[in-house]
Chains A and B, each alone.
Chain A
Amino acid sequence: NAGVTQTPKFRVLKTGQSMTLLCAQDMNHEYMYWYRQDPGMGLRLIHYSVGEGTTAKGEVPDGYNVSRLKKQNFLLGLESAAPSQTSVYFCASSSLRTGRTSPLHFGNGTRLTVT
């Protein structure tokens, strides 16, 4: 009963370093999303995917790239980390049934600090 799993849970990067956050879901959901949460800002959508091999930009996509090579995985990459990318990152997934999307199922988050 894993649901949505994010790895790693915590990470500290130096400015300019790169890293990839992995999101895996075992619910066969079509849609996957990456959000970032910052104090007083709520959650903001970075990128999302409506299916394997497709991705799209969300509200705050700059500085991030994503890939969805397999239906169950959605990767978020930071090519050159900046202190402004210090945040908590949440992955989520949802399914489409009879024209209605299910509520988002969230992972437990990745806390990233860029120094």
Chain B
Amino acid sequence: AQKVTQAQTEISVVEKEDVTLDCVYETRDTTYYLFWYKQPPSGELVFLIRRNSFDEQNEISGRYSWNFQKSTSSFNFTITASQVVDSAVYFCALSEEAGANSKLTFGKGITLSVRP
């Protein structure tokens, strides 16, 4: 069975600090997809990134970067120069199947608080 572990539950940083959110996953499949979602205080879920298991290239999008390492089954998310607007709950998720029954397994989420 697939599993996603986000060991950090709450992180508090001061604005402009860098912060890394950890995600470790378990799966028996060789083909799978990894996701990060953001849930701001307003409650909606915002898609941030999807990675497939064959693409280990790290990705950078503005202040956000993702480090995918199959050797350690990790898909970590780094926010550089954090801002108050980054305060949210962040979920890592895994999908084992690309086809008809694709569904996400979520980690328990990390609550990030960025203080001014």
Contacts and interface: CB of A to CB of B under 8 A. Distances in A.
Contacts of A33: 103-104
> What band does the interface of chain B fall in when counting residues whose beta carbon is under 8 Å from A?
20 to 34
A109 B99 CA distance: 26
Contacts, number: 58
Contacts of A96: 99-100, 102
Contact of A50 (B9, B47, B100): B100
A56 B101 contact: yes
Nearest to A98: B98
Interface string A34-75: 010000111111001010000010100000000000000000
Given A90-B45, A106-B45, A44 B101 contact: no
Nearest to A103: B47
Nearest to A40: B108
Interface of A: 31, 33, 35, 40-45, 48, 50, 56, 58, 88, 90, 92, 94, 96, 99-101, 103-106, 108-109
